[in-house]
Structure 1
Amino acid sequence: MGRRSRARRLQQQQQQRPGSAEDGGKRNGAGWEGGYPEIVKENKLFEHYYQELKIVPEGEWDQFMGALREPLPATLRITGYKSHAKEILHCLKNKYFKELEDLEVDGQKVEVPQPLSWYPEELAWHTNLSRKILRKSPQLEKFHQFLVSETESGNLSRQEAVSMIPPLLLNARPHHKILDMCAAPGSKTTQLIEMLHADMNVPFPEGFVIANDVDNKRCYLLVHQAKRLGSPCIMVVNHDASCIPRLQVDVNGRKEVLFYDRILCDVPCSGDGTMRKNIDVWKKWSTVNSLHVQFHGLEILQYAIFCALELADVSSELPGLKWVPGLSQWKVMTKDGQWFASWDDVPHNRHTQIRPTMFPPKDPEKLQAMHLERCLRILPHHQNTGGFFVAVLVKKSSMPWNKRPPKLQGEPVEPRAPVPPSPVEPTVGCASNPLELESKLAPGMSDTEAVERAENSGSKKDGVCGPPPSKKMKLFGFKEDPFVFIPEDDPLFPPIQKFYALDPSFPKTNLLTRTTEGKKRQLYMVSKELRNVLLNNSERMKVINTGIKVWCRNNSGEEFDCAFRLAQEGIYTLYPFINSRIITVSIEDVQVLLTQENPFFRKLSSEAYSQVKDMAKGSIVLKYEPDPTKPDALQCPIVLCGWRGKASVRTFVPRNERLHYLRMMGLEVPVDAEQEAGRDDSSGGDPAEAGPPR
């Protein structure tokens, strides 16, 4: 049976299902209306729990419950580090948002999107437009296509508002080494990548993001999210967050423990704050879930925090964000509504379900020193969001086994309190006398020796406070292809270097491929720091993906001076090192190149024509620089990969990226033409064979 026949049969089966969309059914959280009952947004146990603990400020209960029962507003975030951010913001505000004014859908006035008051530079917006309205309304069809296309291009992210808060408060900088412990699906990870690339003139920031998730399938969703941003500084790994391997790096020929500057730890939770988008929580919520995830979440946190940490006061860091302080007193409730005020009240038969760490400290001085009021609790009714909890922990002093001196107060490197680098291994127990602990470590002991000494000593053996014994690494899913760095004497590189006149500073040792046998078909690049991590930890961790594609082999590359063509995915990283094969084009040239299949040389401007006419066939770079004397023209640079044929030029740019540039130039792209516009570069097709020979 052919593909079309199978597709037709599946379509017919779908149409015959009761309650299907074709039958007029409408989908809700439980399934299709008519096939399944509507979920009632009530849970008496949930209400009893929240009211007893006074989680909601007095007098706000009705507003709180009313907000929970309303659909969650749609929110979007503009990718902040790209030079196109201002152009996208201008396009949104002056075109698409203006078209929404005075618009009604099904008798309901459409709310014009508003910026999130606490997100910097108007780069995040929210609206009452649901996906259902966007898809069904002809008036909103162009706006919906814009959102879909720009999201695929990595220029927009549809991300829940409260999810944007932790990366902002993490205060990451381009030189920071960051661990994202429970990263999938990746919206926070993309924010961290943006922070690394705050200066677009630096193709390889010193910092990097290692994004981890325990779910193998969700790791590939994470890869998709991260690859939209085209960064050589991201690595996706697949481990249980409670036992991420201790990594090593080479420091001047000596193996040292990898120390992280920032750790984002989005641990499993009870899901209360997701009721507005995951309405199944209404009927499934129970304290049993909370008690279960508390133990697993604590394991993960222990691999991220240390006894020298304290809660940071971030109350002034996001002006406009409404929140309430963390609680310092609470009780624990069982699934049947029984309360326990302290661990002493818990009967022995409950000790496997309820644990001492679920209660606040009994010592008033210790409780006060914790400053739990510095935690942020975001309630749904305060700013029409989901619910969220944020705790920012800052390392104020070195670990007892860590001889690296802490940064001094007042050091201008960090605007917040100083944060000495931290290894991922936790401390679980502490010696009663820190001075006694210090004396057990040899003077001048390195970080690595100290961590290994503490680890080998166990949690409390000999009074040493250190990480728990390492757990055996568990591997999930399929075995990944290897990451093989190109040897310095590999004969494939000199022709590439000569053809593109690569700058001597080009880091060729950062090139890698995913095969050990046969021809190398695609070449990727990582930053120097991630190369260090890969080379020294291949047996310790399961890497799902890293690097950015910069070159693809032509099937008939032997006919040309170079067998590898440029890949659009990595062109912004690679371009600063290329000194040949560059054609400077005007904005009119860009329009021609993006709207015509194989424009002849003569269709280009005289300046572009004079550059391309005597150039040898093969891969080229097409560069547009904005003219500051023409404020109405596109004011962000564009770098495109192209191919110089016998008599014509073509671009090799993914469809959505092509549409993005056309929109930024103010050109209207018909909705029915979007599916046909452009050609996806990710297929690795051979430009020498594509299209009519000219």
Structure 2
Amino acid sequence: MGGRGRSRTQRKHFRQSRENVWKRSKSDHSDAANLIDASATNLAWEPFATQNQAFDEYYKVQEIVPPQEWDAFIDYLRKPLPAAFRINSSSQFYVDIRSQLENDFMNSLQAEDADGNEVEAIKPLPWYPDNLAWQSNFSRNQLRKNQILERFHDFLKLENEIGNITRQEAVSMVPPLFLDVRPDHFVLDMCAAPGSKTFQLLEMIYKLIDPGTLPSGMVIANDLDVQRCNLLIHQTKRMCTANLVVTNHEAQHFPSCHLHRNRAGDSQSGYIKESGIRQLQFDRVLCDVPCSGDGTLRKAPDIWRKWNAGMGNGLHGLQVQIAMRGAALLKVGGRMVYSTCSMNPVENEAVVAEVLRRSGGALELINVSSELPQLARRPGLKKWKVRDKGLWLASYKDVPKYRRSVLTPGMFPSGEPGAETPDPEIKQSSEQLHEDGTDNAENEPQLMDDSATTMDNLEAEVSDLPLEHCMRIVSHDQNSGAFFIAVFHKITSLPASAASVKKFTGVTKATDSGSPQPQIPKTEMKDALNGDEIGEENVNAGETPNGNSLDTEMDEAPLEADKNKIDDENAKEETEPPTEAKVVDATKIAAGKRKLQIQGRWRGVDPVIFYKEDAVVNGIMEFYGIKESFPFKGHLITRNNDMNHVKRIYYVSDSVKEVLELNFLAGQQLKIASVGLKMFERQTSKEGSNAPCIFRISSEGLPLILPHMTKQILHSSVVDFKHLLQYKTIKFQDFVDPEFGKKASELMLGCCVVVLKKEGQTSSDALPPLAINCWRGRTNVSVMVTAIDCQELLERVTAPLSTDTDEPSKGEAEAEADSSIAEGGVDHGKMKDSEDGSRSNARETATLV
């Protein structure tokens, strides 16, 4: 159980709030007011200084780009980043959205570059498959403020809120593309928040899957920080998937979830033997590790003034540990991608080289230069230097003795320890050095000789590893951010010494983690619901030293804000492994105020319990006519110990079910924050409690279960479908198609599904893609869909309506609906619970289930 008594520095950084670099303090205003002319009433806004002498010197020496390209390189880093977004291929409307971009916005929008020349306003990214990723040459500020672009901006906001597109930096989309994910793969995203890459991985395993079926693979998305797990859950909730598990662990200590030998013979482990899963390993692993984030300077300009070389040095050890843990969890024959949003070779090539050395030939670096040929990239570096406290160091033998507890041989190209060098005479002792790893002149020990100059003139080592197979993306090649990517292939099992990763405690020993962690400048993470981009790389950079690196007390923290505080007794780590008896006893908790939940040995986490109330499950299957061929029983879970007060029932795929069973038999090693697809919700209104089935189908679960339903289904004409979306509630006798109203009145009281029937289609045909959850009341049918989803569906059915000769005029339809409502056609009080329950699909900020 994590963090108590360890890593004080990191917990301090975690609790410190970020300085607001956009706002002057009151004292700054008052001091400045005394210096300006009396006629001036307001201070002028001053942009960030987009330069840093230490940055320029560092990357010129590292030769990230040739000298003749330096000016272009630095100029692009000072320009605003173009807005980029990705069409979610899992959306049923993705073809329509792509067509609208290609045939409407590309032709109607114009843009100008910085020199006033006309350029293409929006365009698909040529290297992303199927024209599903787009880049706009308008900055985010232009999109907000330019009235001409209002329609395009509104389009982006609406589709992003619904979940049809994801705002994501262009280079952030690259790493998942090199994983070569297939529908049968088990995939691990080790540092997943805020979830854009996880969403891509989910789309890949769902590719080419028929409607109503699930892939045999799955994705586990992990993040250490609880709040970022919430954001991750919200981002991926739009995918509506039963093949995702969200976990809350330190990436470098992600559990192996191994089935112990002494339990292999248990009678309860039969299904494990049948599934063949005895240890959780993955076909694909994504290590998008915490980094200093200087590749995001274009959208996080506050990094300019805080950047220093110590930031990269301090993260090297953690990055190696995460990558080695990922390699250990990777199956033989699998592929792992290591990536950062940093340009620093100490965080990139040095980490890759160290991983190759530690793996002892078990891993090889794949040359992927022929993949995505239209993506502009540069080969990895084979030589670099390390800068520490004002010194340029060409090899580890140049490291002064007093810094060898901070710098490690793995930071250098050769990885060789070399011979020790006598310490240069310094003006202050090493105990007086600052622990933040900064490279500021006032914090550096002053050398008495000319060592700094001689070090600078030393020729850097050259690595003998094939680091040119890595790739570095720089801004001026394709007007993007910067990124680094390396692709590994696992040839054989790792050596025993490499597979075990030491606990990273923050102690500054060369054999542990490297240097102390610097306090890295955080960047603003904007809410996904306001239509602004969530900077995935910025989040990694901003919360690295606290949220994703060292031990904290997060293992003992409640995962939801409204949970009770943990008392001292509960805060102690359990010494006994969990048993099934304990889980069974937990179901006897008395009804009433909800108590603190326990998931195995994890305090403050809702348990994961297979829902096996046969009477309720059989009732659901009978009410909705769920086919026996659909794998239903045994796939339902709940997060509440009290089976009499279960509000939500979740559905999991075969692959997730196997992992949950393995996790239970292995002692519940996984700390699960979210799992499964919300399939059913308890209807708590008075009318709902009188229905034959009190569980209604959720909006998220409808697409999966609909092809397997035979009851409680209505096929609607386009006109009546539109009227339901417009007026939310319509009495049986007020439908345009009287046959539809008659069939609705014959359904049982409770949840039903209204499916749009295309012209000439019969109910015996394959179910059409457009369907909505409704409630069959005593006298009417009411929609249980959020307002924003109604708006989207209305737009999708508008075009067919224009050719429908049977549609009444708009005024006539509105008059009919108004008359119906005036006669009491809708009981908003009874349906409030239903509507509120469905709002979480797109509107609410995510909370851990």
TM range (shorter): 0.7 to 0.9
Partner of 1:175: 184
**Does structure 1 residue 579 correspond to structure 2 residue 652?**
no
Contact conserved, 2:185 with 2:283, CA < 8 A, in 1?
yes
**Does structure 1 residue 209 correspond to structure 2 residue 219?**
yes
**Does structure 1 residue 651 correspond to structure 2 residue 783?**
yes
Where do residues 152-551 of structure 1 align in structure 2 (5 Å cutoff)?
152-198=161-207, 199-201=209-211, 203-248=213-258, 250-252=272-274, 256-305=278-327, 307=359, 308-336=362-390, 338-361=391-414, 370-399=465-494, 426=499, 475-478=555-558, 479-487=604-612, 489-506=613-630, 507-517=632-642, 518-537=644-663, 539-551=668-680
- The SS at the match of 2:775 is strand
- The SS at the match of 2:311 is helix
Task: Name the CA shift for 1:103/1:294 in 2 (closer, same or farther; >3 Å).
Answer: closer
Q: CA shift at 1:59, angstroms? A: 2.1
- The SS at the match of 1:314 is coil
Deviation by residue 1:652-691 (Cα, 9 ceiling, x = unmatched): 12233222222333579xxxxxxxxx999673279xxxxx
Contact conserved, 1:115 with 1:122, CA < 8 A, in 2?
yes
Kindly provide the amino acid, as one letter, of the partner of residue 508 in structure 1. Answer: K
Q: CA shift at 1:205, angstroms? A: 1.4
C-alpha separation in 2, matches of 1:573 and 1:680:
23
Kindly provide the amino acid, as one letter, of the partner of residue 637 in structure 2. Answer: L
**Does structure 1 residue 76 correspond to structure 2 residue 171?**
no
Runs of 5+ consecutive residues of structure 2 not aligned to the other structure: 1-22, 30-41, 260-271, 329-358, 417-460, 503-550, 559-603, 762-766, 802-830, 840-849
- The SS at the match of 1:389 is strand
C-alpha separation in 2, matches of 1:603 and 1:215:
51
Q: CA shift at 1:476, angstroms? A: 4.8
Task: Name the CA shift for 1:522/1:80 in 2 (closer, same or farther; >3 Å).
Answer: same
Partner of 1:4: none
Higher relative contact order (CA 8 A, sep 6+): 2
Deviation by residue 1:525-561 (Cα, 9 ceiling, x = unmatched): 1112212222332531221111111111122334222
**Does structure 1 residue 53 correspond to structure 2 residue 59?**
no
Partner of 1:128: 137
C-alpha separation in 2, matches of 1:225 and 1:139:
30
Task: Name the CA shift for 1:116/1:18 in 2 (closer, same or farther; >3 Å).
Answer: farther
Kindly provide the amino acid, as one letter, of the partner of residue 209 in structure 1. Answer: V
Which region of structure 1 is more displaced relative to structure 2, 643-652 or 214-223? 643-652
Contact conserved, 1:173 with 1:196, CA < 8 A, in 2?
yes
Contact conserved, 2:252 with 2:501, CA < 8 A, in 1?
no
C-alpha separation in 2, matches of 1:626 and 1:110:
42
Kindly provide the amino acid, as one letter, of the partner of residue 68 in structure 2. Answer: G
Where do residues 596-635 of structure 1 align in structure 2 (5 Å cutoff)?
596-601=727-732, 602-605=734-737, 608-609=740-741, 611-624=743-756
- The SS at the match of 2:772 is strand
- The SS at the match of 2:771 is strand
Task: Name the CA shift for 1:139/1:594 in 2 (closer, same or farther; >3 Å).
Answer: farther
Q: CA shift at 1:217, angstroms? A: 0.8
Contact conserved, 2:683 with 2:833, CA < 8 A, in 1?
no
Q: Which runs of 4+ in 1 moved over 6 A?
A: 16-20, 102-105, 107-110, 366-369, 471-474, 678-682
C-alpha separation in 2, matches of 1:649 and 1:559:
16
Which region of structure 1 is more displaced relative to structure 2, 542-551 or 143-152? 143-152
C-alpha separation in 2, matches of 1:73 and 1:103:
13
Contact conserved, 1:219 with 1:544, CA < 8 A, in 2?
yes
Kindly provide the amino acid, as one letter, of the partner of residue 89 in structure 2. Answer: G
Kindly provide the amino acid, as one letter, of the partner of residue 236 in structure 2. Answer: A
Kindly provide the amino acid, as one letter, of the partner of residue 836 in structure 2. Answer: S
C-alpha separation in 2, matches of 1:181 and 1:480:
20
Task: Name the CA shift for 1:339/1:88 in 2 (closer, same or farther; >3 Å).
Answer: same
Kindly provide the amino acid, as one letter, of the partner of residue 324 in structure 1. Answer: R
Partner of 1:24: none
Task: Name the CA shift for 1:46/1:636 in 2 (closer, same or farther; >3 Å).
Answer: farther
C-alpha separation in 2, matches of 1:361 and 1:104:
44
Q: CA shift at 1:92, angstroms? A: 2.8
C-alpha separation in 1, matches of 2:305 and 2:662:
48
C-alpha separation in 1, matches of 2:73 and 2:720:
55
Task: Name the CA shift for 1:549/1:330 in 2 (closer, same or farther; >3 Å).
Answer: same
C-alpha separation in 2, matches of 1:137 and 1:579:
51
TM-score (norm 1): 0.77
C-alpha separation in 1, matches of 2:150 and 2:674:
35
Residues paired across the two proteins, number: 578
Partner of 2:794: 662
**Does structure 1 residue 588 correspond to structure 2 residue 597?**
no
Which region of structure 1 is more displaced relative to structure 2, 593-602 or 206-215? 593-602
Partner of 1:552: 681
- The SS at the match of 1:59 is helix
C-alpha separation in 2, matches of 1:254 and 1:94:
50
- The SS at the match of 1:49 is helix
Contact conserved, 1:111 with 1:129, CA < 8 A, in 2?
no
C-alpha separation in 2, matches of 1:603 and 1:102:
48
- The SS at the match of 1:370 is coil
Kindly provide the amino acid, as one letter, of the partner of residue 140 in structure 1. Answer: L
Partner of 1:8: none
Partner of 1:459: none
Q: CA shift at 1:568, angstroms? A: 0.7
Partner of 1:432: none
Deviation by residue 1:46-65 (Cα, 9 ceiling, x = unmatched): 11111112111342111111
Contact conserved, 2:105 with 2:122, CA < 8 A, in 1?
no
Contact conserved, 2:225 with 2:554, CA < 8 A, in 1?
no
- The SS at the match of 1:584 is strand
TM-score (norm 2): 0.63
Contact conserved, 1:653 with 1:679, CA < 8 A, in 2?
no
C-alpha separation in 2, matches of 1:251 and 1:627:
51
Q: CA shift at 1:399, angstroms? A: 4.5
Q: CA shift at 1:227, angstroms? A: 0.4
C-alpha separation in 2, matches of 1:45 and 1:202:
56
C-alpha separation in 2, matches of 1:94 and 1:476:
53
C-alpha separation in 1, matches of 2:91 and 2:60:
45
Which region of structure 1 is more displaced relative to structure 2, 340-349 or 552-561? 552-561
Runs of 5+ consecutive residues of structure 1 not aligned to the other structure: 1-13, 21-32, 402-424, 430-470, 630-634, 669-677, 687-694
Match for 1:119 among 128, 138, 142? 128
